[in-house]
Amino acid sequence: MSIVSDLEKDRVTELDELLTAIKPKLISYISQADPNSEHYNSRSLGTYHEPTFLKQQFIELSGNNLDKPCSETQLAETIDKVLEYSVNTWNPGFLDKLYASNNPIGVISDLLLSILNTNSHVYTVSPVLSVLENYIGHKYASLFFTNDQETCGGLTFSGGSWSNITSMQIARSLKYPDTKLTGNANYKFAIYTSKHCHYSVVKGAILLGLGSQNVFKVDVTPQGLLNVLDLENTIEKSISDGYTPLYINSTAGTTVFGSYDPFIQISKIARKYNCHFHIDGSWGGNVIFSPVYRNRLQGSELADSITVNPHKMLGIPNTCSFLLLPHVKNFQTAMSLQAPYLFHGRDNPDEANYDLADGTMGCGRRADSFKFYLAWLYYGQVGFQNRVEHAYKIQEYFVQTIKAHSDFEIVGPEFPQCLQVCFYYHPPLVKNNGGNNTEVTRYISRELHKLGKYLVDFSPNPENDVKGEFFRVVFNSPILTDKIVDDLIESIIKVGSELK
């Protein structure tokens, strides 16, 4: 008896046919969204659809019942609808939460990863990607840790949350190595973070058995920065209550206002109380690439760990999040169990560790670092510098323009430190009627989306909610121009004039 392959077509022909069929669809999709293309349509961002409409499109009307293989036509129609009803983030009007559109080399890197479809946990199955992750992690970390250029390094994690939680675990294992064996039993650990922090820190504390009530929320200044005086008072108070200070979280580029904490002062307090000093630079860390703007990170070289996401400010395809350490070997010191069934050790103990999952919680790892490596190679460091500086030029142009306009009001720091701008727009007719900011902001934001031109987010004020929700617009794309910014402002005014 012989058992033959059950595939109808050979894989080579099948992939060739699929790629050939999809390529024109992809190019047409992107060209609609590209201002330099003759097919550009400023309304190609797409509009809002209700979930019931989408369920109807994909489930009820399509005849795609998943019981048997679909026809070629059904596949083509489904792909067309996925593109049509998704938000086209290649459109320059996509100014929503923090990330920007993909780019050609990003698509290629994702395609290569898919072709390789490897797991970057051990060297033997992902030799190239492991060496490149080690290389690019070191290169990236050495921009930040200028005092530890030789020893620093970084690994990718599946997202900011995992980078965060890992940094908390590393803090505990390094400062109190006995906890790896005995758990928290001998300690009552305290975590310090700002009042603005999201629940993720608290979740991390729960996951690590530290307990949510042992996360202390420190006051913030009116600009949303960690209040250093209150930080020290909170630590002193917790020590007198029998706590062991473990971890201080600070932020480079807060999610709402984009503020940068005073890292030099925080690091002094961390040293004084033997606390791990973490910087969450998921959003704002990549200003490191610009000599003009990197002074916002002053003191970050003193951190014990830094999270940075190339998938936000640098336009690397989602997701790509690094945790960087001044001493890369500490990933292993903190995590390794030397599982011999998986990690077979090194022939040459002097060589770097390329069994990367020995230093992480997860075993299955996608090589997200490769997308960053390929983009860095393709654009060069100067390409990332130009990207960051272009985005700041656009942000500054927008700020100047709305400052000159009496119906716009900046919220938060007068000169925003990162690439998002928080503001109110007060339509003249509404202003005279004592209108409601939340209603105005939500109305304009929804109408801009309906036009298919702009997707802008809004937010309540984390400090003081009485004035209502404001716009939070993110300028983070190399294709933005002053013309598009002018059109955005005109569109806000025009839509606002419909309100009374």
Ligand X SMILES: *[C@@H]1O[C@H](CO)[C@@H](O)[C@H](O)[C@H]1NC(C)=O
Ligand Y SMILES: *Cc1c(COP(=O)(O)O)cnc(C)c1O
Task: By CB under 6 A, tell whether 280 contacts ligand X.
Answer: yes
- Contacted entry of ligand X, ligand Y, none for residue 283, CB cut-off 5 to 8 Å set by kind: ligand Y
In the shown chain, the binding pattern of residues 289 to 318 toward ligand Y, with x for contact by CB under 6 A and - for none, equals: --------------------x---------
Task: By CB under 6 A, tell whether 438 contacts ligand X.
Answer: yes
Task: By CB under 6 A, tell whether 196 contacts ligand X.
Answer: yes
User: Would you say 364 and 441 are in contact if contact means Cβ atoms under 8 Å apart?
Assistant: no
Part in contact with ligand X (CB under 6 A); list of ranges 3-11, 20-28, 189-197, 267-275: 189-197
Part in contact with ligand X (CB under 6 A); list of ranges 10-18, 132-140, 196-204, 311-319: 196-204
Residue with tokens 């919220």: 411
- Contacted entry of ligand X, ligand Y, none for residue 101, CB cut-off 5 to 8 Å set by kind: none
Task: By CB under 6 A, tell whether 450 contacts ligand X.
Answer: no
User: To which H or E segment does residue 322 belong?
Assistant: strand 321-325
Task: By CB under 6 A, tell whether 391 contacts ligand Y.
Answer: no
User: To which H or E segment does residue 375 belong?
Assistant: helix 369-403
Task: By CB under 6 A, tell whether 194 contacts ligand X.
Answer: yes
Which residue among 200, 318, 333, 459 contacts ligand X (CB under 6 A)? 200
Cα 130 from Cα 132, distance rounded (Å): 5
Task: By CB under 6 A, tell whether 201 contacts ligand X.
Answer: yes
Which residue among 29, 277, 283, 398 contacts ligand Y (CB under 6 A)? 283
Which residue among 93, 106, 160, 412 contacts ligand Y (CB under 6 A)? 160
Cα 332 from Cα 417, distance rounded (Å): 35
Q: Binders of ligand Y among 321-350, rule CB under 6 A?
A: 321
Cα 230 from Cα 216, distance rounded (Å): 11
The answer to whether the Cα torsion of 402, 404, 405, 410 is positive or negative is positive
Question: In this complex, which beta carbon is closest to ligand Y, that of residue 200 or of residue 438?
Answer: 200
Q: Give the residue among 279, 213, 272, 221 at the shortest CA–CA distance from 250.
A: 279
User: Would you say 367 and 113 are in contact if contact means Cβ atoms under 8 Å apart?
Assistant: yes
> For residue 223, which phi and psi values (nearest 5 degrees)?
-85, 0
The H-assigned helical ranges of 33-126 are: 51-55, 72-85, 104-116
In the shown chain, the binding pattern of residues 402 to 421 toward ligand X, with x for contact by CB under 6 A and - for none, equals: --------------------
Q: Which residues pair with 192 in a beta bridge?
A: 216, 248
Task: By CB under 6 A, tell whether 259 contacts ligand Y.
Answer: no
Q: How far is the CB of 442 from ligand X (least distance, A)?
A: 7
User: To which H or E segment does residue 240 belong?
Assistant: helix 228-240
**94-95: strand order across its sheet:** 94-95, 455-459, 470-474, 420-425, 408-410
How many residues make contact with ligand X (CB under 6 A)?
A: 24
Binding footprint of ligand X on the chain (CB under 6 A)? 159-161, 163-164, 193-194, 196-198, 200-201, 249, 251, 254-255, 278, 280, 282, 307, 436, 438-439, 468
Binding footprint of ligand Y on the chain (CB under 6 A)? 98, 159-161, 251, 254-255, 280, 282-283, 309, 319, 321
